[in-house]
Chains A and B, each alone.
Chain A
């Protein structure tokens, strides 16, 4: 099973976490890391497990680097029913009404095109006490374990 980390970022915090997670995982796994702004939905592959990292920006919107991806998804409507992903969200509970709405939107966008989510959507809070990587590393380990038997089955 290959791994691909896709990140949507606005301030660079999600990008930094994606790079850290790539470094953490690449010893034991084949792993690529892409900005969602540079990733074409046509490139989703069934033998790859996608780890999405996404922040929230403005009034609960997708971060800037995820917006072109969302536009292409909506225009091309790819069939992602053989695709598996997990998603890690970053937000700031200071803005509680829209807390982690960016990753929620991204997860819904993936699901709307048939993609299969593995594990729960985890939310890091920038106003909380935890470091993002302290939540993200165990999350990645857990979802990779959960995905072992499923990803690529249909391929």
Chain B
């Protein structure tokens, strides 16, 4: 008896953890459980549609299920369909790797006006997450608040011409939606000076390729720190790029005080070291971090944690990825974390053969498995439209129906 591990969340952190666990101990039972019928979480619904190279890590994750013996249990919402306590009773180890999916609120007057939209909510809609809201109207002049990689991803997607989205997996509906927005101007504002912006320089350099924009960078400043200056240099290299009519403006050091508008967002009022300023806009996109969803009591678990920094919440209960570290760090950062956590889990592991493991999930309705995902994946790639590498199945019902197909047909 080698031990049974349940990982809640089949996104990159959960998958890297499973990979590290199974590499170290190949006979371990590792079950990845996800609330969606499909695996890969952020890689499928958060990584930008035009960053297909980044999505290539799913080839590694497929190995988990195809060669390393990990199992996938999709369409299982822990905290709803099954309690965390029931899962903990069934497995020697439970790891929460559910990410952080709720947009951190702006929390200023007017931030509940229509037209103020969180980046997570918008990207879930853009990337056809089955639980996403309908795509909102942004109008011709969206203003982005935030200076991290999520904000830059959003800026790039909105700034691209239809031709620049060739090879992506942006869906038919979102593609039409984007054209309909007829965006004229995108302003991106950060609270910090450019030197302290959270984005990576490489994300800024990528913007130099945009084919239909006129870029201005205002008040990038300077820094004595080489890493900071590298970001500033990348920004300054964008200033003056003029490849087309869509205006993109970078602003820094602007702290939002309030969103203004009669019945929807029409402007944001800021304060800055230079004084107060109001920037008109047609919508406000916030990309200022993420908070946990309500289904798992993350705050309570972390506050009671034995060693939250190491990801140890309680005996047999661990946290990985953004669920542990907060909304910072890239996919490979979380790989390194997962490898460290796997070591700690295996050190602590004391298998109890009386635990029922995956049998605890057997009575749940419409649970999908990895074979079901391969059917969905094949259907999505087989029906890709010209200029796209995939056509995502966008509803839970359709996913379940395809995942179930041929069940029982085996000889």
Residues of A whose CB lies within 8 Å of any CB of B are: 10-13, 16, 57-60, 64, 92-98, 125-127
Contacts and interface: CB of A to CB of B under 8 A. Distances in A.
B405 interface: no
B170 to A, nearest CB: 15
B333 to A, nearest CB: 9
Interface residues of B, number: 25
Contacts of A127: 52-53, 167
Contact of A59 (B57, B60, B167, B201): B201
Interface string B260-276: 00000000000000000
A144 B53 CA distance: 29
B205 A12 contact: no
Nearest to B208: A97
B206 A12 contact: no
Contacts of A12: 16, 19, 57, 60, 332, 335
Contacts of A97: 205, 208
A33 to B, nearest CB: 13
Contacts of B50: 94
Contact of A95 (B19, B57, B167, B206): B206
Nearest to B52: A127
Contacts of B63: 16
Contact of B202 (A10, A13, A58, A64): A58
A13 B206 CA distance: 22
A16 B53 contact: no
Interface in B220-260: 230
Q: Which of B50, B52, B206, B332: most chain A Cβ within 10 A? A: B332
A11 B335 contact: yes
5 contacts: A16-B59, A94-B50, A94-B51, A98-B205, A126-B54
Contacts of B332: 10-12, 57, 64
Nearest to B234: A59
B209 A96 contact: yes
Given A64-B336, A96-B209, A13 B56 contact: yes
A132 B341 CA distance: 29
The secondary-structure label for the interface of chain A is mixed
Nearest to B12: A11
Interface string B26-54: 00000000000000000000000011111
B186 to A, nearest CB: 20
A95 B149 CA distance: 14
A125 B201 CA distance: 20
A94 B57 contact: no
A143 B36 CA distance: 45
A92 B16 CA distance: 21
Contact of A126 (B19, B53, B331, B336): B53
A11 B57 contact: yes
Nearest to A16: B60
B200 interface: yes
Contacts of B16: 12
B238 to A, nearest CB: 12
A94 B168 CA distance: 12
A95 B202 CA distance: 7
A122 B394 CA distance: 38
Interface in B45-86: 50-54, 56-57, 59-60, 63
A101 to B, nearest CB: 11
A59 B203 CA distance: 9
Contacts of B60: 11-13, 16
Given A10-B332, A12-B60, A127-B167, A59 B54 contact: no
